[in-house]
Structure 1
C-alpha cells in the first residue's frame, strides 16, 4: 500500500468529512418542537418523522455501504455527498410535513458516506498504522455526533429552523469541492462482481468469519448500553435535580473524552491484540454502570460514570474497526456494513428498552438492564467466540 496517499493532512480531511456528514442525522433532534409548531402537528408525529432518518440510515448501511467493495470508493463518496446536498436542500424548502418526511428519510440514506470513508481509510493505511488511522477518522465521526445537536439547537434559537439544513447543504458543498481535489484516488481500478452478487455475499461473510460476528455482537452490546444511559438521562436529571434537556446536552459534551482518546486507543490496537482492547471496553462500561448505580445521585459520580462509559464505548468501537478492517481489504466495506448495522441496532434497541425500564423500575431498572446486557457481552466475547477468531483476522 502506498502510504504517501494517506498523509496526516489526508487523514485529518477524512475525519472532518466524517464529522460534517454524520451530523446530518442528528440535526432534527433539538428542533423537533420548532418543526411541530411550523407544521401545526403533535410532537409525537415529528418524533415518528425523526425515526425515518434513523431508518434511512439503517437501509443505507445495508444497501449502500457494501457498494464500496465493487465500485470506485472515491466516486461513491462524491456521489453520496451530492445526494446529501440535495436531501438537505429538500428539507430546507419543504412546504409540508410530507415533503419534510421524505427529506428526512433521504438524509438518513445519504448520510452513510462516513461509513464508506472509514473502511477506505483502513484500506489505504499501512497495516502497522491502521488502528491509529482509524482512531483519528473515528474521532471526526465522534465530533460530528457530539456537536451536531448543540449546533442545530443554537442555530435554531437565532434563525428559522430551516436554515440549519441550508447551512448543512453549504457545508457539504464546500466539502465536496475540497474532496474532489484532495481525496486520494482509489488504487483498485477493476471490479468483477456486480451489485446483486455482492449483496448476496454479505450473509456468506457473516457465516464465514466468526470474528465479524463477534465484532457485530460486541458493537451491539457496547452501543446498546451507551444508549440505555443517554436515552434516559434527561428523565433522571428531571427526577433527581429538576433539570432538563439543556443540562443533558451540556453533560453530553463530556463525550469529548472519547474524541481525545480515540487516536490513543487506535495506537493501542496496533500494539496489542484488538480483542484485548475490546475486553477492556466491556470492563470500563460495566464499571461505569457500577458508578451510576452507587453514586449516580451525586453529580460528581454521574460525571465520572459518563467519562468511563464513553471511554468503554470508544475502546470497543476503535478496536472492533481495527480488527474487521484487517480481515480482507477487498471486502472491507461489507465488513463495516455488518458491524455498523449491529452497532446501530444495539443503539436503537438500547434507547427503546431503556425508556421502558425507566417507566417500569426507574434508575435501578435502567442500570440493571445495562448490566444484564453487558453480561451477555462478556459471555459472547470470552466464551462463545474464543481467541481463535482473532487469528482469522491475522491479529
Structure 2
C-alpha cells in the first residue's frame, strides 16, 4: 500500500473489536473451572488439563493455520476460521459429557486463530506512515479481549443459579485471585503486545509466518505454564503459583543476559 493511501477508522476499529471478541473464547474456561468440575463430575486437575488443551490447540492453530495467510486470501481465511470457531463454541455448549467438551475446547483453541491472521493483515493494509498506529489499535483490541473475557466469564458464573456453592472464604480467595490475574496480565500482556509489534516490523512478505512462530512459542509456553500452575496450586496454593512464576522470570532474565540484545531488525518495506 502506498504511503498516501489510508485505512479507514471504521475498518481499524472493526479489526480491533473482532480480535478482542475472538481471542476471548480462549479464556472463558479459566474462571469457571470449579463449576465445570462439579457439572461433569471430574477433578480439578482434569479441568486444568482441559484449559491446557485449549491453549495447545491454539498453539498448533498458530503453527499450522496462521502461515496460510501468506498463501491464501486473508479476508476469506479469516471468515472461514470465524465460522469454524462459532461451530466449536456451539459444540462446547451442547457437550453432554467431559469427553465431548474436551474435543470442543481443543477445537476452540485451533479455530480461534483469526486474530493472528487479522494482525499481519492490518499491517499489510496500512500505509507505511500509519502502520505502527494501526497495529497498536488492533493489538489493543486483542489485549482488551484477553483481559475482559475472564471478568465477563467469571461474572456470568457468579450469577447463575448453581453458583451458590461458593463459600465466603472461596469468594475472598476469588477476589484476590482476580486482582492478581488482572495485575499480572497487564504486565505480561503489555510486554507481549510490545514484542508482537516488534515481530510485525520484520519483512512484511513473511509477516504471517513470523507472527505464527512468535505466537506459537508464546502459547506453547502458556500451555506448560497452565500445567505447572495447576500443579503448584494443588501443592501450595497461591504462594506456589507465585513461586512458579518467579522461577520462570529468573529463567527469562538469565536467557536475556546469556543471549544478549537481539540483532537489528530488517525494516525493509514493500
TM-score, structure 2 normalization = 0.83
**Corresponding residue of 1:128:** 129
Q: C-alpha distance in 1, partners of 2:115/2:151?
A: 20
Counterpart secondary structure, 1:332? helix
- Equivalent position of 2:116 in the other structure: 115
Question: Does the alignment pair 1:326 with 2:205?
Answer: no
Q: Does the residue aligned with 2:202 lie in a helix, a strand or coil? A: coil
Q: Distance in 1 between matches of 2:178 and 2:88?
A: 26
Q: Tell me how far 1:97 sits from its aligned partner.
A: 1.4
Q: Which residue of 1 aligns with 2:143?
A: 142
What residue is the counterpart of 1:234 in the other structure? none
- The structure-2 alpha-carbon separation of the partners of 1:351 and 1:101, relative to structure 1 and needing over 3 Å to count, comes to closer
Q: How many residues align?
A: 257
SS at match of 2:72: coil
- Give the distance between the partners of 1:72 and 1:119, measured in 2 at CA: 12
Which residue matches 1:346? 221
Cα distance, 1:99 vs structure 2: 1.3
Within the candidate set 169, 176, 179, 1:250 is matched to 179
The DSSP-based 3-state class of the residue aligned with 2:42 is coil
- Aligned 1:20-59 pairs, distance under 5 A: 20-59=21-60
Q: Name the CA shift for 1:371/1:81 in 2 (closer, same or farther; >3 Å).
A: same
Partner of 1:201: none
Query: Partner residue of 2:165?
Result: none
Aligned-residue RMSD, C-alpha: 2.9
1:199-238 matches, cutoff 5 A: none
1:119-198 to structure 2, matched below 5 A, reads: 119-159=120-160
Confirm or deny: 8 A CA contact 1:69 1:331 kept in the other structure: yes
1:72 paired residue number: 73
Over 3 Å counting, the alpha-carbon distance change for 1:250 and 1:367 in structure 2 is: closer
Q: Is the 8 A contact 2:57 2:109 kept in 1?
A: yes
The Cα of 1:112 is off from its aligned counterpart by 0.6
Deviation string, structure 1 residues 178-225 (Cα, Å, up to 9, x no partner): xxxxxxxxxxxxxxxxxxxxxxxxxxxxxxxxxxxxxxxxxxxxxxxx
- Name the TM-score, length of structure 1 as normaliser: 0.58
Instruction: Select 1:380's aligned residue among 234, 237, 259.
Output: 259
> Compared with structure 1, are the counterparts of its residues 327 and 381 closer, same or farther at alpha carbon in structure 2 (3 Å cutoff)?
same
Q: Is the 8 A contact 1:22 1:141 kept in 2?
A: yes
Q: Distance in 1 between matches of 2:12 and 2:51?
A: 31
- Based on CA coordinates, which of the two structures has the bigger radius of gyration? 1
Equivalent positions of 1:244-283 (< 5 A) are 244-254=173-183
Q: Does 1:367 align with 2:246?
A: yes
User: Which fold has the larger relative contact order, with Cα–Cα distance below 8 Å and residues 6 or more apart in sequence?
Assistant: 2
Unaligned segments of structure 2, at least 5 residues: 163-168
- Does the aligned pair in 1 maintain the 2:56–2:223 contact within 8 Å? no
Aligned to 2:61: 60
